[in-house]
Amino acid sequence: MPVPVPHPRTAVLPHQAGPADSGCAENARAAAVGMPAHGGCSGAGPLPRDLPAAELPRPVVDGRTAARPPAGHAPGATTEPVTSATSEAPAAADPSTAAVEPRPEPPAQGLTLLLIGEDPNNHVPEMWDWAGRKVRLRTARNLTEAERLLTDDVHCILLDLTPAEPTGREDRDPPRGDGPGGRGGDELAALRAVLRMAPAQAVLVLTCETDAERAAEAVRVGAQDYLFRDELDGKVLSRAVRYAVERKRADLAQRQLTESRLRAQENARLERGLLPTPLLDGSELRFAACYRPGRSRALLGGDFYDTVRTPDGTVHAMIGDVCGHGPDEAALGVELRIAWRALTFAGLYGDELLATLQKVLENERPDDEIFATLCTVDISEDGHRAGVCLAGHPAPLLARAGEQPELLPYEFGGPALGLLPEARWPRRQVELGAAWSLLMYTDGLIEGRIGEGTARLGQDGMTELVARQMASGLTGDELLEASVREVRALNGGELTDDVAVLLLDRR
């Protein structure tokens, strides 16, 4: 079979300064057809034919001087042509002399318009977006085709609601249920279907000028705007498409803002349930609390607490922690807190109260692996004694007047709620004294890191930290805020776990 001959490429060299003559044009035409040149192109006139090859001026290509022709080469003869990269050349081309053709950059993607109309001959003028790029057009005869063509890169839909031209077959052809023409009961059924199908795309309605009432109704239903076919041109359609796209973006942004506000309100209501107002009327005890969720920008966490005073004068306090972080854990914490308050007012405390709370947890938790730790304290009416129950929770910190703060014993505690079905939680009696401060906290306060290593603050570090803050004269809310702030500073930033701290004082 014959071997294909590669087509040569001709590199056009820059002319030297000087007037052009007819030899340039003739040489260019000769080079284009692969014939030898017969004259020079410099401003000094044609080169003499008998000039030796070694004395011929060398052309400059891409800033470099080309090699001289080999000895014995005819002055006017052409050298080997430069072939394309895919052709088989006798020798590899010198990259220093190859002309590099710049690749064209792909055009930036503009807007895409999807036209839905039964008339296949619908003429839509050319449109341009904000940057002067041509708007791409897709056409669909009905909603079935439109759903197939509706992709994420479609920005706007133009729905043609004008009736199709009569063909004389209306009596023989059954009405098409998915067509946009609106035949049937609801004239805007197609528009409603498009709005359901494309909630993120802008929608324009195209109709006749005599059908202005239906066009206005289409906007009330959900379309961004409407256009009349009689006044349709490129400028009007381009402006309408751009306006519809921007209005749709504004509507989506407003909807997201509204949803964010509603979520914030729901979170605030849930937070009020999670962080209740203490009921201590008639008690001489002072109450303070501090709460910090561990999630970034979150309002809620799985920690919860509460304090109430029953009619017999006993003050009951509780703090707990549902494993995990998020709204589900927060909701479960609210349920446990409300159940604890109701059971406390009903007269339950100690082991009986915690056993009932475990039943609530087992029925309300979304997963059998969810558990909760809890610490309950009931303080006598005179404020000198307290009963403490621990369900897998860190022991409270007690600071008596004139003494260093110390942790209450933990060994008498029981397991976390939700771990053992038949668990028991003994109640330990503690002498408080005449003046004291009782600090209850979740493990988020003691699990923060110290410096850049893996060491944790721990209960001992927390005890020293709180003792130092108390020695400086801080009490109440100021004591809690300063302690949490120092724990965060030691951790090097926000704590990963939720933190809840409750403080009861008797002076």
pLDDT at 420 over 90: yes
For the ranges 50-54, 202-206, 376-380, 419-423, the lowest mean pLDDT is seen at 50-54
pLDDT tens by residue, 314-357: 999 999 999 987 778 888 998 999 999 999 999 999 999 999 99
* Residue 29 three-state SS: helix
∠160-165-171 over CA atoms, to 5°?
A: 115
pLDDT value at residue 405: 95
pLDDT value at residue 25: 43
Residue reference for tokens 């009736």:
163
The residue among 325 and 123 whose pLDDT is bigger is 325
Sequence-distant (≥ 6) Cβ neighbours of residue 450 within 8 angstroms: 456, 457, 461, 490, 491
Q: What percent of the chain has pLDDT over 70?
A: 70
Residue reference for tokens 């933990």:
410
Global confidence as pTM? 0.54
Q: What percent of the chain has pLDDT over 90?
A: 39
d(CA 208, CA 211): 5
Identify the bridge partners of residue 318 per DSSP, sorted by sequence position: 306, 376
The residue among 370 and 238 whose pLDDT is bigger is 370
DSSP state of 44: T
d(CA 230, CA 237): 12
For 11, half-sphere exposure in the C-beta direction (CA atoms, 13 angstrom radius) is 19
Place 298 in a pLDDT band, splitting at 50, 70 and 90: low
pLDDT at 50 over 50: no
pLDDT value at residue 459: 95
pLDDT at 495 over 60: yes
**Cβ proximity of 291 and 328 under 8 Å:** no
**Cβ proximity of 435 and 482 under 8 Å:** no
Nearest alpha carbon to residue 69 among 54, 81, 59, 83: 54
pLDDT (average), residues 145-166 = 83
pLDDT tens by residue, 236-288: 888 888 888 888 889 889 888 888 888 878 777 766 666 778 899 999 999 99
Place 496 in a pLDDT band, splitting at 50, 70 and 90: confident
d(CA 507, CA 489): 31
pLDDT, mean over the chain: 77
pLDDT value at residue 313: 95
pLDDT at 362 over 50: yes
d(CA 13, CA 192): 65
pLDDT at 462 over 90: yes
The single-letter code of the amino acid at 50 is D
**Cβ proximity of 466 and 405 under 8 Å:** yes
DSSP state of 7: P
**Cβ proximity of 114 and 154 under 8 Å:** yes
pLDDT value at residue 62: 46
For the ranges 93-107, 287-301, 342-356, 468-482, the lowest mean pLDDT is seen at 93-107
3-state helix/strand/coil string of 138-193: EEECCHHHHHHHCCCCCCEEEEECCCCCCCCCCCCCCCCCCCCCCCCCCCCHHHHH
pLDDT value at residue 475: 94
Q: Angle, nearest 10°, between helix axes 212-221 and 189-197?
A: 30
For 394, half-sphere exposure in the C-beta direction (CA atoms, 13 angstrom radius) is 24
Place 33 in a pLDDT band, splitting at 50, 70 and 90: very low
d(CA 274, CA 272): 5
Place 26 in a pLDDT band, splitting at 50, 70 and 90: very low
**Cβ proximity of 159 and 194 under 8 Å:** yes
Rank 145-154, 198-207, 211-220, 382-391 by mean pLDDT and report only the highest: 382-391
Q: For the stretch 333-343, what's the b/e string if a residue is b when 16 or more beta carbons lie within 10 angstroms of its beta carbon?
A: bbbbbebbbeb
Start-end of H helices in 327-475: 327-345, 350-364, 458-471
Longest pairwise C-alpha distance within the chain: 128
For 295, half-sphere exposure in the C-beta direction (CA atoms, 13 angstrom radius) is 13
pLDDT at 431 over 80: yes
pLDDT value at residue 181: 52
